[in-house]
Amino acid sequence: MSASRRGGEPASVAFLTPGDPRHGVTRYANTLAAAVEAAGVAVVHERPRRRGSALSTIAAASRARRSSLVHLQFADRYWGEGRAQVLVVLALRLVLWNRTVVVTAHDFHAPPPRRRSWPLRQLSEVARLRTAYGVAARILLGSVALVLVCSEGEAESLAWTRPRRVQVVPHYVEGRRPLPHGTQTQPPGGAPAGAPLVVLGFIHRRKGQHLAVRALPHLPEHRLVLAGSATPANAEYLESILAEARVLGVEDRLEVTGYLSDDDLVVLLARARAALVPYERIAASGSVATLAAWGVPMIARAQRALDDLARACPSAVGLFEGDDPSALAAAARRTLASPREAQTAELARWADEHSLARTARRHLEAYRAAEGRTREDQPEIRRWT
């Protein structure tokens, strides 16, 4: 194994991803890699030429193993579809067997039921492990030096995979981009009249834009902006949203922006009153981090990935349960009733505590500990290799 630097950080870190830059998990890894490199550690990027190919993965992992530590990301179907992800994970573990491997696990949201009797709990876990995702998760997370998650709730949610070691490193918050010259921002006392509510992200059913539109009749004083575009595969979903808006009589208060440049996005966020976050699942959510960076209050579907943020920002982050649009609207009214200045201050503290630089330092500390444990395990590894 390559020696670590004198300060204890790994000599180099290989960030290994399937490579699709459109995937939020890939963007998370790339942004984190840039922050680790800015902290003074050599970083390399590796990716298979073909996602889901065990042979391509072996080639990429063989290049990555030249680094002293390899950092992977894992989420359902991220490395391949169905059984392919099991073969890919096996290939990763084979090639990287005697290297320090750290995995950030995303999107674990369904722990085995707690209130069922013992036999039913066992059946639930067996059913989960029969899926390719379950098998791949058990193999990977149960064998690497360290598993990182973004919240305590997510750590609980992946307990069924029996990871060897888990550590929480909260999601980073990127710094604000400079606003284009002449952009009108909100006055200190709060949002101007007509400031919109926004839903940030690609138009996709799992983002829950339809629920935000259904809540709009319960929020007659607000406009709604869906800040994102739909891929051809989701064009039908977008059409259904627009059709439902017409039926509900809110089409004049609904805007779909399509793709936004970075400048256009920050202008919208600077003017927004709040964001609706009805996402069904969150995996490495850059959208939530972007909203926090700009101090935009959020009304979000309750899920474990948001537990820590909601506790730290009680007036700025309102939660609702289920798929009832009236529950979303009620949570929005409660959040919108809080003073905007207090909400902005809460989110600013969160953004400072979870800046990219601080998050990179937390990762370097985790890397040092993982490499130390791997060195301790070397005698055992050598017996099997």
Query: Per residue in 219-232, pLDDT tens?
Result: 999 999 999 999 89
* Per-residue confidence (pLDDT) for residue 1, from 0 to 100: 41
Q: Collapsing DSSP states into helix, strand and coil, what is residue 200?
A: strand
- Determine the pLDDT at residue 185: 54
Q: Which two tokens stand for residue 185?
A: 């921002």
Summary mean pLDDT of the chain? 86
Could you count the other beta carbons within 10 Å of the beta carbon of residue 259? 11
Percent of the chain with pLDDT over 70: 84
Instruction: Give the pLDDT band of residue 160 (cuts 50, 70, 90).
Output: confident
Parse the chain into domains and list their residue ranges: 12-172+355-383, 197-353
What mean pLDDT comes out for the span 139-164?
A: 90
pLDDT bucket at 189, cuts 50 / 70 / 90? very low
What is the CATH number assigned to the segment(s) 12-172+355-383?
3.40.50.2000
Query: What average pLDDT does this structure show over 241-249?
Result: 97
Same fold, 12-172+355-383 and 197-353: yes
Task: Please give the CATH topology (third level) of the domain spanning 197-353.
Answer: Rossmann fold (3.40.50)
Q: pTM of the entire structure? A: 0.80
